[in-house]
Amino acid sequence: MDKNFERIKELLPSIQENVLLANHTTYKIGGPAKYFFVAKTKQDLITALTVAKKFKLPIYILGGGSNVLISEKGFDGLVIKVQNTEHRIYDLKKIYVEAGVNITKIAYLSADIGLSGLEWSVGMPGTIGGAIYGSAQAFGARISDIVESVEVVDEKTMKIRNLAKKQCKFSLKNSIFKANNTPRGANNLVIISAVLDFSQKPTEQIKSKIKEFLEYRKTKHPMEFPSAGSVFINPEKVSKEILEKYPELDYFFKKGPLPAGYLIAKCGLAGKKIGNAQISEKHANFIINLGEATAEDVLALINLAQSEVKKTFGIELEPEVQIL
């Protein structure tokens, strides 16, 4: 009998023990969490963080379960699954949305009332909180384009703060919340909610874009297999020497960051399998679970892709996926 669990349960009655995290990730990979709690409200989240601090439990904040790879060893602490889903429209073009709301849901909701800014996100399984944490982006648009402010709780002091967009330090697939590649960033800030400020456009125009992006994802992304989404951040900086050596890269570089998937495919790795994990033939920046893949299988492919791209192009690929 875990006496600690009994004491924790008095404060968090719906807490669970030994919950398999594979059932809560888009990869369908991951061992058990020692303790697991679903935070359905803002107060639930604050209470769970307070309890974790009281019992000195390591914590991991889980949203929609995308963009994360969890070891079969699981997590020896408290996993808090954020499912606070309150949202409301105000000031004609702003939406208050809690961290646990699915981003695709808000994209469709905003489209229905002529608000543009999340068309690019339709089809993504993650939450608003996860999108802000990882500075999500696609098709030349990013979540930071519409973030006005973010409400957070500081895990160390348990004080609630509101951060303006500038304070969030958004960059390519990074933010103050993800900084230093730690679960809650260098400042241990846990996202509660955000205010999103949209632009107004005709509903038909917005829905046309949504359809276009969704069709692209269905055609170009391996949506038929479990994955965590894009594995690597597209490189933004490339030396002149590399561009001179590989002039074909200049075409991509003039348009923006280099596609990591292109670099991986040029190394001949598209379709490469290790165990039951595979670098997708459809899009080489996706590593897919063919059925019974382990975290070790996926990690081996991540390391292989990094090694081959470094050897071939002299470019270091930085993982976007969080490894727990």
- The CATH number of whichever domain residue 287 belongs to comes to 3.90.78.10
- Give, in order, the Cα–Cα distances in Å from 69 to each of 46, 96, 290: 25, 29, 15
161 contacts: CB under 8 Å, gap ≥ 6: 151, 152, 153, 154, 189
User: Is residue 103 domain-shared with residue 178, that is, in the same domain?
Assistant: yes
How much is the pTM? 0.92
User: Is residue 198 domain-shared with residue 226, that is, in the same domain?
Assistant: no
- Contact by Cβ (8 Å): 255, 245: no
User: Is residue 193 domain-shared with residue 226, that is, in the same domain?
Assistant: no
User: Is residue 133 domain-shared with residue 226, that is, in the same domain?
Assistant: no
Interatomic CA distance for residues 210 and 135, integer angstroms: 20
Mean pLDDT of 243-268: 86
Mean pLDDT of 165-191: 78
DSSP tag of 179: G
- Contact by Cβ (8 Å): 11, 51: yes
Residues spanned by the domain of 61 = 3-82
Q: Is 95 part of a structural domain of the chain?
A: yes
Q: Is 238 part of a structural domain of the chain?
A: yes
Specify the number of domains making up the chain: 3
Task: Answer with the one of 152, 179, 206 that is the final residue of a domain.
Answer: 206
pLDDT for the residue numbered 184: 47
User: Is residue 92 domain-shared with residue 78, that is, in the same domain?
Assistant: no
User: Is residue 189 domain-shared with residue 96, that is, in the same domain?
Assistant: yes
Q: Is 213 part of a structural domain of the chain?
A: no
Q: Is 217 part of a structural domain of the chain?
A: no
User: Is residue 183 domain-shared with residue 144, that is, in the same domain?
Assistant: yes
Q: Is 9 part of a structural domain of the chain?
A: yes
Q: Which pairs count as long-range contacts for 237-242, CB under 8 Å and 24+ apart, including other chains?
A: 238/315, 239/314, 241/314, 242/313, 242/314, 242/315
Q: Indicate whether 181 pLDDT > 60.
A: no
pLDDT bin (cut points 50, 70, 90) of residue 185 is very low
Q: Is 263 part of a structural domain of the chain?
A: yes
Digit-coded pLDDT (tens) for 64-110: 999 999 999 999 999 999 999 999 998 889 999 999 999 999 999 99
- Contact by Cβ (8 Å): 85, 181: no
Share of the chain above pLDDT 70, in %: 97
Interatomic CA distance for residues 24 and 19, integer angstroms: 9
User: Is residue 288 domain-shared with residue 309, that is, in the same domain?
Assistant: yes
